[in-house]
Amino acid sequence: MEMNMSESVMKMNMGEGVMELLTLSSHKTFKLKRFLAKKQKQSRPVPRWTWVKTGNRIRYNSKRRHWGRKPGVSHTRWCA
C-alpha cells in the first residue's frame, strides 16, 4: 500500500526532529510555518550579558538547532 506525503507527515512525531519537516515541501501549512518560526526564534546564541551575570557559567545555548548541518560535511567557517 502506498503512502502519500501527508500521511507520512502525520505518522511522524515531533520528537524525530524538524529536519524531515523542513525538507518536505515548499508549500507548508500555516501551523507548520508558525511552529518553525518559533523554533527559529529560539535558536539563537546566549546574550553576552548572561555570561557576565552568571560568572561565565552559562556560555552557550545547549538547545541550539543545527538546521542545515549534515554529519560528515565540513564547513569552512568553523574549520581552521
Q: What cell numbers appear for 34 in the block?
A: 508558525
How high is the pLDDT of residue 38?
A: 96
Structurally, the chain folds into a number of domains equal to: 1
| Mean pLDDT along residues 16-40 | 77
Distances (CA, A) of 78 to 43, 56, 69, 74: 18, 22, 12, 8
Query: Which pLDDT score is estimated for 68?
Result: 78
Rg of the chain, C-alpha, whole Å: 17
Residues 12 and 33: beta-carbon distance below 8 Å: no
Domain that holds residue 3: 1-80
Q: What is the pLDDT of residues 41-59, one digit of tens each?
A: 999 999 999 999 999 999 9
The more confidently predicted of residues 25 and 33 is: 33
State residue 75's pLDDT score.
53
How confident is residue 26, by pLDDT bands cut at 50, 70 and 90? confident
